[in-house]
Structures are given as structure tokens and as C-alpha cells.
Structure 1
Amino acid sequence: MHDARTFWLTGLSGAGKSTIASALQERLTQAGRHCTLLDGDVLRTGLCADLGFSPESRAENIRRVAHVCKLFNDAGVTAIVALISPYAHDRDKARQIIDASKFLEIHVATSIELCERRDPKGLYAKARAGEIKQFTGISAPYEAPVAPSCRLDTGQLALADCVELLCRL
């Protein structure tokens, strides 16, 4: 039996966080592991619907999600989180809340050029046109992890390879 952990996938919009998280959840479930997926877009329709995208709102979003992860981990459930989580200090707080020994910071380190080419929701185009304020990577910063548990570049790695690397952690 594996101990419950939190896989915290961070990266730019369009990097592949949700796709990797979903595939990882499927793989772990097939292996008999109890796990749940906490996706930033889904969380912002409920638990975090009252939050915007200012640095303060992002910090609160991450704080809430970290506490949910801790509850899941304490119940023996692995949490898989897909959140941009652009600020290092907010990810550090999440690590403290969850427990550093259970927190795996996964940097989905896809280039901004590839993220913009993918742009499934047209967000980069809107941000470049000034229609979206505080858009991570364009008009708001993204602080890449310095020493993540794993770094994945979806421009270089296939989805199956990304999941395999995460399963080895």
C-alpha cells in the first residue's frame, strides 16, 4: 500500500497540467490507488468561485486547495492538483499545509510559445489584446519552481512518458 501524497502540477495555461493530471488519475486508479483530481478550472466553479486572479486571490485559492489536499491525504487518498499556481511562496505555503513529505511539486515546463500555439480557450490572444488583465505569462508573472520533484516538458515528452515519470516518484 502506498502512502497518500499530493501531486501538485504547476505551469502556464495550456501547458498540459489537466491532461497529465487526468491521465495520472486514470493510471493510479487502475493500479488500485485511491486518488482524486482537483483541477483549477473546476475548483473555480465552486469552492473558489468567489475568487479573482489578483495575487491575493491566487494565494487564497491555493490555500483552500492545499487544505482540501491535506484532508484527502489524511484520509488515505492521493490528491492530484492541476493549478497554474504562479507564485513560489504560495506553493511553499501549500507544501507546509499539506506536509512537505507528501508534497510533490511537478513543473509542467512547456514553453510559452507552445502554450500560445495550443491556446484551447483563446486566452493568450485575449491577454495579448489587453482583454484579460493579470494573465500569467503575459501580464502577470510565473515563478517557475527552482527544484521541483519532477519537470515535464510536454513539447518534448509524450503524455504516456509524463505519466510514467510521475508514477516512479
Structure 2
Amino acid sequence: MQVETHARSVLKAVSWRTLATLTTALIVFVFTGEFALALTVGVLEVFAKMALYVFHERAWQKIRWGKQDVPSFVLWFTGLPASGKKAVADGVYRKLTATGIKVERLDSHDVRHLFPKLGFTPEEVDRHVRRAGHLCSMLEKNGVSVVASFVSPYRESRDFARQLAGNFIEVYMRSTVEACEQRDTKGHYRKARAGEYRFFPGVDVPYEDPVGAEVVIDIDNVSEEQAIETIWRYLKRHYLNAI
């Protein structure tokens, strides 16, 4: 996805203003035949329209009509390992970024890097998810929406994160263990079954399915693009209708 840089936008504005001024000067010259007058009118037009533009923008900034707040939210992806959380979350994040709203992306690995000694026992995973919930809620309270993807296998931990947030959207990437194992290109499931990993959700510890998730994606039956579009429609209907 391509986005326009600030430098490109400025250059486009300058080129358009130059073209418009030259057009005005040319019209004056055609009707009067006086080059000096045409040049003077062109220069005056530049400054007059710049001043009028500033006044126009400031006047509209004071008018509340037509303005609508876009509420911040926490979009929390949960599901078994290799259920497609990261790929779909990344896709939704890119679409949100393109709208211009303030949004941050948090993945489980990002937070774990801050706490390298944190393990994977149920107690440690619970602390990990609660920390992530606190971080998400702090960003949300400061007007920044968050796209978060965490296995977050325990319902109590997810409910804790929900209670902290003002607008919490749980996205359940529903998939079977067998399908996730087929997607697992890194061999995590194989290592868990061989005993190299302990406390692996779906193998030797349970993954507690969400109850009442706002969005449920049956990822075994839809493509990533379809999943992204389903979530996007939900966001547009409930949070982004002003965009």
C-alpha cells in the first residue's frame, strides 16, 4: 500500500498554486496586453489568496458543525498459536493507518522483549497478558487506538484486559488445533508434542475459547483478506463511521 509523503503533498500544492497564478497573469495579459500589469496582478493574487486561505481555515476550525470524534479502541486478537492472528492484525493495522487516525500495533513478541525473563507457565502468561492490557488501556486513554495480537489463552486474563479498556473489541480467530498445526511453519506444535516446549496452548495446556467475542473469524474457512474485510466492516459500523 502506497501513501503520499508530506514532501510530495507540499510540492503538489506549490505546483498547483504556481499554475493558477500563471493562468491569472496570462488572462490579464491577454485582455490588457500589459506584461507589467499581468505580473503585478499575479503577485498580488498569491498573497491575497494565501491570506484568505488562512482566514478561511481558522474560521472553519471554530465551527463545530460537521465534526465528529473518532473514539479510540483496543482491537484484541486472540486464538491458538498459528491461528493467523498476526497476519490478519497486520492487515487491519495497515488499513487503520491509511485513515490517518492514531493507532499502534502490539504483538506478544514485542511485549515479551521488554521482559526477557518471562516464561510460559500459566501464571507468567497471565502476568504477560495483564501487562499488555495495561499498556493498551494507557494508549487508548490517550486517544491512540491499539491493534493487539496475543494468544492470551486464559479467559480471566482477557477479561482483565477488557475491564481496563474503554472500548474493547475481542477478535477470536477460531481454528482447530489440527489446522493450526498445518499452518505452523516454525514447528512449534511439533516441538511441544516432543516435550521441547511446555505449557503450549492446544497441546499440554488448554486454550479457553472466548465467550461473547465481538468478532469471530472462522479462519479455517475464510481467507486472510476476507477476515480483514469482516473486521473492517465491524470497525466502520461501530467506530469509524465518521471516516
Q: TM-score under structure 1 normalisation?
A: 0.94
1:15-61 superposed Cα distances (whole Å, 9 cap, x missing partner): 00010111110001112222111101222122x32311111111111
Whole-angstrom distance in 1 between the partners of 2:126 and 2:165: 15
Residue identity opposite 1:7 in structure 2: L
Residue identity opposite 1:123 in structure 2: H
Whole-angstrom distance in 2 between the partners of 1:66 and 1:45: 16
Matched, 1:12 2:80: yes
* One of 200, 205, 219 as aligned partner of 1:135: 200
* One of 199, 203, 214 as aligned partner of 1:149: 214
Whole-angstrom distance in 1 between the partners of 2:181 and 2:137: 33
Whole-angstrom distance in 2 between the partners of 1:111 and 1:30: 33
* One of 109, 112, 134 as aligned partner of 2:174: 109
Provide the aligned C-alpha RMSD in A: 1.1
1:85-139 superposed Cα distances (whole Å, 9 cap, x missing partner): 000011111111223xx01111000221111011122100001111111110000
Whole-angstrom distance in 1 between the partners of 2:218 and 2:109: 21
User: Which secondary structure state, in structure 2, belongs to the residue aligned with residue 168 of structure 1?
Assistant: helix
**Displacement of 1:5:** 0.3
Matched, 1:70 2:137: yes
* Residue aligning to 2:157: 90
User: Which secondary structure state, in structure 1, belongs to the residue aligned with residue 71 of structure 2?
Assistant: coil
Whole-angstrom distance in 2 between the partners of 1:120 and 1:34: 33
Q: TM-score under structure 2 normalisation?
A: 0.66
Whole-angstrom distance in 2 between the partners of 1:28 and 1:78: 9
Whole-angstrom distance in 2 between the partners of 1:139 and 1:8: 24
* Residue aligning to 2:122: 55
Whole-angstrom distance in 1 between the partners of 2:102 and 2:228: 16
Higher relative contact order (CA 8 A, sep 6+): 1
Residue ranges of structure 2 left out of the alignment (5+ in a row): 1-68, 235-243
* Residue aligning to 2:190: 125
* Residue aligning to 1:165: 230
Contact 1:43–1:49 (CA under 8 A) maintained in structure 2: no
Whole-angstrom distance in 2 between the partners of 1:66 and 1:142: 18
User: Which secondary structure state, in structure 2, belongs to the residue aligned with residue 60 of structure 1?
Assistant: helix
Runs of 4+ off more than 6 Å = none
Amino-acid identity (%): 35
Contact 1:6–1:80 (CA under 8 A) maintained in structure 2: yes
* Residue aligning to 1:43: 111
Say which structure is richer in helix. Answer: 2
Residue ranges of structure 1 left out of the alignment (5+ in a row): none
